[in-house]
Amino acid sequence: MLSIAPAPSVAEPEPPPSAAAPAHIAGRGISVDFAHDGVVQRVLSGIDIDVARGSFVSLIGPSGCGKSTLLKVMAGLLAPSEGTMTVGGLPPGEAAKRHMIGLVFQEATLLPWKTALENAAFLLTVGGRATPKDVALDKANEMLRLVKLEGAARKLPSQLSGGMRQRVAIARALALDPEVLLMDEPFGALDAITREEMSRGLLEIWERTGKTIVLVTHSIDEAVFLSRDVHVMATGPARIIETLPIDLPPHRDEETFNLPAFGEAEAHLRRLLIQGHAGEHR
Amino acid sequence: MSVLDQATFRPRAAARGALARRLRTVGADVLPPLALLLAVLAAWELAIRLMNVSSFVLPAPSAIAVSLVENHRMLLQAARVTSVEIATGFVLSAVVGVAVALAIVRFERFGRALYPLVVLFQTVPKVALAPIFILWFGYDLAPKVVLIVVIAFFPVAIDMMHGLQSVEPGFIALMRSVGAGRGEILRRVQIPYSLPHLMAGLKVAVTLSVIGAIVGEFAGASAGLGYVIQLSSTQLDTALVFAALVAVSVLGLAFYYALEFAERLLVPWSSKFDPLHRG
C-alpha cells in the first residue's frame, strides 16, 4: 500500500568527517540569530544533532528554547546564521523541493474551498515536481486511508473536527512520500483524548512507513510515548542539554504508560525541563 | 399533537413542517422591519395631514406614491441612464481595485511606493472632483463613470489586499518549500483565499457607485435620477424628488442583492455561510 522509505533519488555525498554514522538528518554547529530593531538575538547556539534514518525523535523544551526554530532549519524554511544542516545529504531546501520532507504544523492550514481529498493532494500539484491531478488524487486517497479518514474525503475543512483536519494535514504531508516527516506541535491545538488517539495513529503510520520523524512538542508524555530519542532543549542560550534514549519496547500501546521505564523517563525529563526552565531566569 | 402522531413518520407532513419552518424564519426576518416601515409611513402621513405641512416642504407618503405612478415612464427612463452609469462605474471600480491590490501584493517594491499614494488619494474629497471631470469629460457617461471609479475602487483594493495577505504564513512556507513560485502561490492560493474579502469590498463599492452616479449627475447631466432630483427640486416638485429617491434606493438594493446572490454562487465555502461559524 505504501512504499517503505524509498532510497534517496540522488547519490549521497560523503558523510561529514565529524559524523560517526551517516545520519539521515545532520546538523553541525547550527546557530540562528534574529535581529529585532537592530538588536541581534541568538535564538539557537551551536547545536549538533543527528537523526538516524527511520527513527522517531522528539525535541522538547520550554517555549522560547528554539525547538521550532531548529525544526524550521531542518525543513529548509530558515537558513542558519552559522553551521550546516543536511537532510539525506542535501541542503534542506533542496531536499524539500525533491519532496523528501513532509511538514505538519500546529494549525492544519487547509484550503477552505477544497475537500479533504483535494487538500491532501494539493502539494503534489504545485512546484517544479507537480504531478497530474488524477495521480495526485489517487495518492491522496491512499493517504486518507492511512490516516483513517477515507469516509470524509469529500468534506470541506469547515465540516471536519480539529483532529480530522489535522489528519488531513498529515495525509497531505505523507502524500509527497517524503523520507522525513517534520512535525511542529501537530497535536498542540487538540483536546487530550483526541491527542492520545492521534499519537497512537501516528505511531502506527510510523511503524508501517518507516519514515524518519522529528516531532516538536512540549508534552513530556507525548515525547516519551512516541520517541526513540528525546532531545531536551533549554534556553539561555538555546541549546540541547541532553539526548535521552527511551528504553521502552519498540511496539507501544496503552500498556506502555504503565511500564516502570515510562515513569522513569518521564520523571527524568521533568527534572531536566525544570532545570532548563530555571536556567531561563538566571 | 399526540405522542402517537409524532412517532409515526409522515413524509408529507414532515415536508409541510419544513416549509412552515422556512416561512416562519423568512417571516421573522422580513416582518419586523416591514411593520416598522409601515408604522413610520403611517405616522408620517398622519403628521403631514394633522399639521397641514405644505407639500413642497415635505410631501405625504401617499403624494409620493401618486407621483411615482404618474411619472413612472420618465422615472424608468432616468433609472435606465443611472443604472448604466452605476454598472459601468462599478465594474471598472472592481477591475481597478483588484488590479491595484494584485500589483501591491505581487510586486512588493512597487507596492511599497503605490500603497501610501493610494491612501493619500483617499483623503481627497472626491465629490469635489465632479466639476473637474465634467470639464474634462463632458456631460455624458464618461465623467460619471470616472467619478464612480475614484470613489469606489478603494474599498475593493483594500479588502482584496487584506484577503490576499490573509493566507496563513505557514501554508505559504509549505508551498515555497515544495518549490512553488510566487505567481503560483498567488494564483492557486492567495486569489481564491481573497474572494470572500473581495465580495465584502464589492458590496461597499456598489453602494458607493450609486452615490457617485447621483453626485456626478448633480454636477452636470441631462438625464438620470440625479438629474430628475435636481430639476424637480428647483421646480419645487418635492413629491417627484422623493419619488426619484425611492427609485434610487430600489436601484441600490437591486445591485446590492445581485452581489449577495453572486457571493453565494462564487464562494459557497465562505465561513460567512456556515451556520455554526466554525473556522
Cβ–Cβ gap B269/A112 under 8 Å = yes
Q: What is the pTM of this model?
A: 0.80
* % of residues, chain B, pLDDT over 90: 65
Strand pairing of A82-87 and A180-184? unpaired
Domain A25-100+180-280 has CATH 3.30.565.10: no
Whether residue A15 has a cis bond before it, omega within 30° of 0: no
**pLDDT tens-digit map of B179-217:** 898 899 999 999 999 999 999 999 999 999 999 999 999
SS3 A278: helix
- Burial per residue of A73-93, b for 16 or more beta-carbon CB atoms within 10 angstroms, e otherwise: bbbbbbebeebebbbbbbebb
**pLDDT tens-digit map of B29-40:** 888 889 999 999
CB nearest A75 (choices: B171, B177, B180): B177
Q: Is the sign of the CA dihedral A270, A236, A31, A41 positive or negative?
A: positive
pLDDT score, position A17: 46
**What stretches in chain A show pLDDT beneath 50?**
1-19, 280-282
Whether the CB-CB separation of B206 and B259 falls below 8 Å is answered with yes
Q: Which of A117, A116, A115, A165 is nearest to A138 (CA)?
A: A117
Q: What is the mean pLDDT of residues B86-111?
A: 94
pLDDT score, position A234: 86
Cβ–Cβ gap A126/B177 under 8 Å = no
Domain ranges in chain B?
3-51, 61-273
Say whether residue A113 is in contact with chain B using an 8 A CB cutoff.
yes
Q: Which of A218, A227, A155 is nearest to A188 (CA)?
A: A218
At B7, the pLDDT band (50, 70, 90 cuts) reads very low
Whether the CB-CB separation of A9 and A55 falls below 8 Å is answered with no
pLDDT score, position A194: 87
Q: How far apart are CA A229 and CA A214, in angstroms?
A: 10
The fold of the B61-273 domain, in CATH, is MetI-like fold (1.10.3720)
Axis-axis angle for helices B108-122, B72-106 (nearest 10): 140
Q: What is the mean pLDDT of residues B171-181?
A: 90
**For residue A194, what is the DSSP state?**
H
Cβ–Cβ gap B192/A113 under 8 Å = yes
Output the nine-digit C-alpha cell for B21.
Answer: 419552518
**pLDDT tens-digit map of A36-81:** 888 888 888 888 999 999 999 999 988 878 889 999 999 999 999 9
Q: Which residue(s) pair with A87 in the sheet?
A: A25, A90
Contacts of B193 in chain A (CB under 8 A): 111-112
Mutation site, A106, A109, A129, A164, interface B, largest B CB count within 10 A: A109
Domain ranges in chain A?
25-100+180-280, 112-177
Distance from CA of A267 to the nearest CA of B (A): 34
Q: Which residues numbered 122-181 in A keep a CB inside 8 Å of some CB on B?
A: 123, 126-129, 156, 158, 176
Contacts of B176 in chain A (CB under 8 A): 77
Quick one: which H or E segment has residue A127? none
pLDDT score, position B6: 45
> Which residues have a Cβ under 8 Å from the Cβ of A91 and sit 6 or more positions away?
A76, A85
Q: Quickly count: other Cβ atoms within 10 Å of residue B165's Cβ.
A: 15
Cβ–Cβ gap B179/A107 under 8 Å = no
Output the nine-digit C-alpha cell for A257.
Answer: 504508560
Cβ–Cβ gap B177/A99 under 8 Å = no
What does the longest C-alpha to C-alpha distance in chain A come to? 57
Distance of CA A262 to the CA centre of its chain: 22
pLDDT score, position A248: 86
Most confident region among A28-42, B168-182, B249-263 by mean pLDDT: B249-263
**pLDDT tens-digit map of B81-97:** 999 999 999 999 999 99
ipTM here: 0.78
The amino acid at residue A102 is G
Contacts of B278 in chain A (CB under 8 A): 158
Distance from CA of B180 to the nearest CA of A (A): 4
Q: How far apart are CA A77 and CA A68, in angstroms?
A: 11
Q: Which residue of B has its CA nearest to A109?
A: B171
Whether the CB-CB separation of A70 and A6 falls below 8 Å is answered with no
